[in-house]
Amino acid sequence: MAKKTNSSALYILMFNMFIAMSGIGLVIPVMPQYLETFGVAGQALGFIIASFALGQFLFSPLAGDLSDKLGRKKLIIVGLVIFSASQLWFGLATYEWMLYAARFISGIGGAFLIPATMAFVADITTLEERGKGMGFLGASMSLGFMIGPALGGFLASVSLSFPFYMASLAALIAGIISLIILPDIKNTVSEIPSGPKKRENIITQMKNSVKTPYFMMLIIIFVFTFGIANFQTTFSLYVDHKYNYTPQDIAVVLTVGGFIGVIVQTLVVEKLFKRFGELNVILVNLVVAAIAFLLFFVVDGFALVLLVASIFSTATTLIRPAVNTVISKMAGNEQGFAAGMNNAYMSLGSMIGPALAGMFFDINISYPFIVGSIILLASWAITLIWIKRKKPII
């Protein structure tokens, strides 16, 4: 473990995640109208997002192990290049099946990028500064997700495909900068094994994850991600159908929520973790997010929709770095494996959640929000029971 935080490396990692999240957020306001050109709607969007998650799920554990063996830098660069190529393909797609294939490949890029980045942060921060580092990383992700939709709404005025081309270019630039500037860090303590080392396939790795001390946190990240995937999948479709929001309207809502998330993660996360502990932050914000889901049924008007969406965004902004920090602190010497499994369980939730949300949306546009609220409350119950029974020391 590094004795002192490597600030320059952290800034590059933050920039990479900013670019990746910008690329994802860029396309959200465009997706309803873009999918209409293919004659598809809610269910298709759910399966397209699920395709991304499937790629992440299948390749994240492998990527986590490779980052321990080959170094984080190589995996990050490969991930950015794959992500760039997939965004270009998505923008050039002429058939519906190409959309699914492009998003699956994009998920592979995310699998190489995200676990290696999280493990990199663990390598270059002290245990005391881990929460701060994860918070900064989360802030950069929120900032990207904030600016992305705003840019997407603006770029869509050129053409519906143009945002995808810009996302591809941005990811390629981030890869080049990482190649030139980012130091090559390997897991310096990987000689001290803390778990099984032969992980030949995803099934074996999932079985091995059950033996880890942070397994319940992996379950929580799965259930939590399953819940918020309902929002991420159907929000743009929901406001498009109910309020006839334009891509620019959707961009404003997501941008404001993301901006608040950036402020919270930059200025508040570390203080909250130190004062209340990561586990208490998780518990409180799971309830807040669940309530925000239900509030969408009673609000009306752009200002109130914006307020509720911002509350939801802030709550989920606090949950992610809290869970990531807990897993990292409990992972010991296998930061790559832990980050890979973290991303795998998150991807599994992101795969199942959108697929179901899209189908629920086509039945009734309110159903995804009801299911999402129930799932988040279930996450709260699971977390509370685990804390009381195991009394984990973080």
Mean pLDDT confidence for 7-22: 85
The predicted structure's pLDDT at residue 291: 93
Q: Strand, helix or coil at 34? A: helix
The predicted structure's pLDDT at residue 76: 93
The predicted structure's pLDDT at residue 42: 60
Q: Which of 109, 137, 102, 141 is nearest to 123 (CA)?
A: 137
CA-CA distances (angstroms) from residue 274 to 92, 119, 128, 213? 47, 22, 10, 22
Weakest mean pLDDT among 136-150, 189-203, 232-246, 327-341 = 189-203
Q: With respect to residue 153, please indicate whether it lies within any of the assigned structural domains.
A: yes
**For residue 25, which phi and psi values (nearest 5 degrees)?**
-70, -30
Q: With respect to residue 18, please indicate whether it lies within any of the assigned structural domains.
A: yes
Q: Are residues 114 and 217 in the same domain?
A: no
Sign, CA torsion 118/52/261/295: negative
Weakest mean pLDDT among 68-77, 165-174, 183-192 = 183-192
DSSP string, 147-193: HHHHHHHHHTTT-SSHHHHHHHHHHHHHHHHHHHHS-----TTTTS-
The predicted structure's pLDDT at residue 190: 42
The predicted structure's pLDDT at residue 200: 53
Which residue, of 167, 182, 197, is where some domain finishes? Answer: 182
Q: With respect to residue 243, please indicate whether it lies within any of the assigned structural domains.
A: yes
DSSP string, 50-83: HHHHHHHHHHHHHHHHHHHHH-HHHHHHHHHHHH
85 vs 38: which has the higher pLDDT: 85
pLDDT digits (tens, 9 = 90+) for 284-311: 999 999 999 888 878 888 889 889 888 8
Q: Are residues 226 and 173 in the same domain?
A: no
Q: With respect to residue 200, please indicate whether it lies within any of the assigned structural domains.
A: no
The predicted structure's pLDDT at residue 179: 92
CB atoms within 10 A of CB 31: 22
Weakest mean pLDDT among 22-26, 130-134, 367-371, 390-394 = 390-394
How far is 214 from 34, CA to CA, in rounded Å?
40
How far is 347 from 55, CA to CA, in rounded Å?
8
Q: With respect to residue 187, please indicate whether it lies within any of the assigned structural domains.
A: no
Asked if 37 and 160 count as a contact pair (C-beta separation under 8 A), the reply is yes
156, pLDDT greater than 90: no
Q: Are residues 217 and 139 in the same domain?
A: no
Domains contained in the chain, number: 2
The predicted structure's pLDDT at residue 186: 58
Location of structure tokens 């006839």: 244
Q: What is the CATH number of the domain that holds 310?
A: 1.20.1250.20
Token digits of residue 277: 């502990």
Q: How confident is the model at residue 283 (pLDDT cuts 50, 70, 90)?
A: very high
176, pLDDT greater than 90: yes
Q: With respect to residue 119, please indicate whether it lies within any of the assigned structural domains.
A: yes
Asked if 117 and 12 count as a contact pair (C-beta separation under 8 A), the reply is no
Mean pLDDT confidence for 363-377: 86
Q: Are residues 144 and 226 in the same domain?
A: no
Q: How confident is the model at residue 1 (pLDDT cuts 50, 70, 90)?
A: very low
Q: With respect to residue 203, please indicate whether it lies within any of the assigned structural domains.
A: no
Q: Are residues 136 and 230 in the same domain?
A: no
248, pLDDT greater than 80: no
Mean pLDDT confidence for 339-363: 79
Q: Are residues 314 and 254 in the same domain?
A: yes
Please state, rounded to an integer, the average pLDDT across all residues of the chain.
80
196 vs 320: which has the higher pLDDT: 320
Q: Are residues 32 and 152 in the same domain?
A: yes
DSSP string, 97-159: HHHHHHHHHHHHHHHHHHHHHHHHHHHHS-TTTHHHHHHHHHHHHHHHHHHHHHHHHHHTTT-
Q: Are residues 120 and 220 in the same domain?
A: no
150 vs 324: which has the higher pLDDT: 324
Q: How confident is the model at residue 371 (pLDDT cuts 50, 70, 90)?
A: confident
Q: With respect to residue 194, please indicate whether it lies within any of the assigned structural domains.
A: no
Which residue, of 182, 200, 223, is where some domain finishes? Answer: 182
pLDDT digits (tens, 9 = 90+) for 210-226: 888 888 888 888 887 77
Q: Are residues 34 and 111 in the same domain?
A: yes
Q: Are residues 34 and 128 in the same domain?
A: yes
Q: How confident is the model at residue 393 (pLDDT cuts 50, 70, 90)?
A: low
- For 162, the domain range is 1-182
Q: Are residues 110 and 255 in the same domain?
A: no
Q: Are residues 137 and 38 in the same domain?
A: yes
Which residue, of 182, 199, 223, is where some domain finishes? Answer: 182
84, pLDDT greater than 90: yes
Mean pLDDT confidence for 185-199: 47
Q: How confident is the model at residue 70 (pLDDT cuts 50, 70, 90)?
A: confident
The predicted structure's pLDDT at residue 4: 55
391 vs 111: which has the higher pLDDT: 111
Mean pLDDT confidence for 125-148: 76
88, pLDDT greater than 90: yes
